[in-house]
Structure 1
Amino acid sequence: MKTNHTNRKGYICGNYARYGKKACSSHCIEEDILKDTILTDIQDFVKQIDKEQYLKQLEAQTKKSKQNLRKQLEKLEKQIDLIKSRKRKYINMLAEEIISHVDYRENVEANNIEMAELVEKKNELLTAIESEQTVDDLEQLKQELLQFLDFDELTPEILHRLVNRIEVKVDGIPKIHYRFSAPKIV
């Protein structure tokens, strides 16, 4: 669709604008009619979405994700405790002269490297857990979702994000191809 240069408040067929009468006849639609049609379609789609069910699914996914992160954190903490225990055993083995100072240092250095890697992973998990907790305020998230879905003005940004292509028939009736499929009625 292109802006109708003579009217500027409507759109004409892109094929007609590029190739002229040989490709297509001049199909045009007023901008207000097009915007109203798109806005009505999108609002109808939004009404069909089961928002509460979506929010429940989101909450369940968040809880599952947090549980998974906590399990990973517990596993890392057990590995860290195991390394600390090994280091104590090496000290005892050194004190009892079961191993040499060289063997002790090699084992402790290897354990320190492994410990540093595990501590880094632990810190990453703690950061991930903290970011998951920001989604905990489900009521705030719900309000943001509803605010996004309940718009009443069609901006160019929303139009380009939601509409893939627009065809205008000879009689001026638009056929709008959206970038999403119609929701299933639950």
Structure 2
Amino acid sequence: MLTKALPTTLTTAHLLRVGTALTLSAVLFGLAGCSSINELMAEGSKPPAIVNVATDQQPFYDALNSLILPPKSPQAAPQGIADGPYNGVMPEGEQFTTFVKNGYFDEFLVVYYPNFVTQLRTDLVNGLYNGWVTYRLSDSRIKQKVLFRQGAVQEAIVYSQAGNPEYHFWFTNEQPTSGMRYDNNGNAVESMF
């Protein structure tokens, strides 16, 4: 197992990327004019360039930069929506189902592709992501899972095209603190941080 300490500047640069990704707000539901949930989720996932990374650590940064992180702020419902079940449609046809409570999406959020495959599934508490957010591709393969506690990211797992865990990251105070890369058989082969 390989372990390397990272330069402070890399950590800071990456943390800026994670902070940027977590600043998306309630525009998740098309209120910002984005044409699809993919475009919207990617909007907050544009990291600053990471420079001078040791070549053996670059795959970790590439995997971290590929994470699609939902907004950290509470997910407000459109104004005038009464408490109770709520269904909506994104401009590109993605449908979503949730529950409105005190003006915020609460309890759960499920977003569907136009072919009705679940794209994103998570639990919400007081409008904040709380629990595992599962993000799937349109063919139902899992792309990633991210664990949130009261809106703060705790863990993230990135899956390979074959559907196996490829990278696993752990976070403290929303900062990546460790990571693990797995081979095609699920064996840990390299660690980071």
Greater percentage in strand: 2
Do these two structures clear the TM 0.5 threshold for a shared fold by scoring above it?
A: no
Please give the TM-score of this superposition, normalised by the length of structure 2: 0.24
Higher RCO structure, 1 or 2 (CA under 8 Å, sep 6+): 1
Greater percentage in helix: 1
Please give the TM-score of this superposition, normalised by the length of structure 1: 0.25
